[in-house]
Amino acid sequence: MAGTVIATIIMIGVLIFAHEFGHYIVARLTGIRVLEFAIGFGKEIIGWEKGGTRYSLRLLPLGGFCRMLGEDPEDAVAEGSFQEKPVLSRLAVIAAGSGMNFVLAIILFAFMYFFFLGVPQTDTTEIGQVFADGPASEVGIQEGDQVLAINNTEVNQWDEVVSVINAHPEQEIAMTIMRGDTVVEKTVVPQDDEGIGLIGIAPVAQKYAFFSSIYLGITYTGFLIQLIFVSLFQMIVGSIPADVAGPVGIGAVVGEAMQEGVVNLVSLAAIISVNLGIINLLPIPALDGSRIMFLILEGIRGKPIDPQKEGFIHFIGFTLLILIMILVVFQDIRRLIL
């Protein structure tokens, strides 16, 4: 239990640090003075000052902030103020938080492929893994087997193997396999997985392939971003039920992931990082997305929105978010008890 709590706090802390560091680094690059960089809320546990910036670690590890000069109206015209910078510079600063969450996801996925999973080699038909209790395992197909043909049609690439198998759910297929110096014939019936045939095999994977791992990290992160946006739209229109987890729910999932191993834990951190980045881009008051919307309106109008009105909207949004967070935590606890 203690290990799960510590792992959850560390994971959330890393994700928050990445988000706030995105704001911080772009603010510094654009000449905006950062007054405070904090991880967590509430009472300060550790803090120090350097270069005019206060760095701190606070008691409640459920958020963080990067406070910049000019966020208070009275400092708007000071040198190094956020408000004094061009709209595009301010947009970059605000968007950089979510951008860094996406970058972190890419790094985590790449780390996972580089050290643990390896990069699938699709230019060969050699089988790198046979899953237990799958159709391939049941008929005696083994790791290291090389698929020569399926249904008397020659295959030379892994994608060709997958394509033929996927096209024959619940239909018998004949596989010609090279095992060492021996040609072996196997007949297997792919399982039907929502209209797609599967026999439980995976290609050979190469570990420590740096550029290929980065490419897969980018590809999978892009796929995940698209998937989450589609899921959010489906939740909004009511085609799928809304399912939101707070810190307690995340802790439960982290505990399960820890039992499954490092790969699942790293994958979970990457998925949550992408979710955090997307949620912050939504045009909800108090989130980065609403600040981006105000900056876009300022660019269109040629003058900023009244800071008092914008601040009031963000305050209302922040209050609602706190109430929603309380409800989500209550729901997480009720789900665990039941």
Q: Examine the residue annotation and report whether 172 is marked as an active-site residue of this protein.
A: no
Residue type, 49: E
- What single string gives the DSSP state of each residue in 3-51? HHHHHHHHHHHHHHHHHHHHHHHHHHHTTPPEEEEEEEEEEEEEEEEET
CA–CA distances in Å: residue 218 to residues 102, 209, 211 = 9, 14, 11
Comparing C-alpha atoms, which of 12, 71, 16, 5 is closest to residue 39?
A: 16
CA–CA distances in Å: residue 254 to residues 84, 229, 243, 245, 258 = 43, 23, 17, 12, 6
Tokens of 102: 């996406």
Residue 182 exposed, middle or buried by CB count within 10 Å (0-12, 13-18, 19+): exposed
Residue 2 exposed, middle or buried by CB count within 10 Å (0-12, 13-18, 19+): exposed
The answer to whether 116 and 209 are in contact (CB under 8 A) is no
Q: Which residues are catalytic?
A: 20
